[in-house]
Amino acid sequence: MNIDCLIPAAGVSSRMGKWKMTLPYKKTTIIENSIKNALTACNRVIVVTGYRSDELVKLVQKPKSVITTTNNNFGNGMFSSIQAGVDLINSEWFFITMGDMPDINENIYKSLIEAKDKNLNNFDIIRPIYKGKRGHPVLLHKKTIKAILAEPFSSEMKNVFSHFNVLDIDMNLPDTFMDIDTPGEYKKIMENNTQQGMV
């Protein structure tokens, strides 16, 4: 199935205290692992760069299936990076996920695709839920792109969601909302992977 995935990765990582996209993770980096997981279910991954853009482009643009675009106004926030990338979407349905969520696995992506196929004409957006918390990736129909671009750059995706039919899928998978924003979160996820023999 032809599905694109958009990954905004333009931020400075101010809460981390260091740039998190290139931090070591499972023998590569956080961003490379996020891309690898997305490619288990998607034909193309579109990475939106900003801060240290040249460095990130060199790192991720190895597979031909990875496309990069730059948000020169990345200081305006994450939604502006989503807006900078959606014009490159070619597929009828597409994912949005975060570059700092490297444990979203193939099963999560494919579960959302299966939910789409079962409810094809009823919903425009499909989201994973874990213990009542909305997570990632989010699967969207291309009809949402116009609404995304119509919002101000300071907006949030929840404002886009309010205009469409949304299906929430309950998943017993904490990986759907575990991102890495602080040194403590990075330490915890690395310790978990060490215990599982994954680092």
132-164 per-position pLDDT tens digit? 888 899 999 999 999 999 999 999 999 999 999
Cβ atoms of residues 91 and 6 within 8 Å: no
Alpha helix positions (H), 119-182: 144-150, 157-161
Local confidence band at 196 (pLDDT 50, 70, 90 cut-offs): low
The count of structural domains within the chain is 1
- pLDDT given at position 159: 97
Residue 112: CATH number of its domain? 3.90.550.10
Per-residue model confidence (pLDDT) at position 190: 74
β-bridge pairing 133-134 and 125-130: antiparallel
Contact 59, 31 (CB under 8 A): yes
pLDDT tier for residue 131 given thresholds of 50, 70 and 90:
confident
What does the pLDDT read at residue 198? 53
What mean pLDDT do residues 68-75 have? Answer: 95
Give residue 20's domain range. 3-195
pLDDT at site 91: 98
Angle at 69 between CA 67 and CA 73, to 5 degrees: 160
Where are the strands (E) in the chain, listed by range? 3-8, 24-25, 28-29, 44-49, 66-70, 93-96, 125-130, 133-134, 138-141, 166-170
Q: What is the pLDDT of residues 93-119, one digit of tens each?
A: 999 999 999 989 899 999 999 999 998
Rounded Cα distance between 49 and 11, Å, is 8
Helix (H/G/I), strand (E/B), else coil: 124: coil
**In the structure, what pLDDT confidence band is assigned to residue 194 with cuts at 50, 70 and 90?**
low
Least confident span in 58-67, 115-124, 139-148, 180-189: 180-189
Cis peptide before 137 (omega within 30 of 0): yes
The tens digit of pLDDT for each residue in 84-95 reads 999 999 999 999
More confident residue, 55 or 1: 55
Average pLDDT over residues 36-57: 95
Q: Residue 56 in contact with residue 134, Cβ under 8 Å?
A: no
Interatomic CA distance for residues 125 and 193, integer angstroms: 31
CB 149 within 8 A of CB 140: no
Residue among 88, 166, 182, 85 at smallest CA distance from 129: 166
pTM of the model: 0.90
Check residue 42 and give its pLDDT. 97
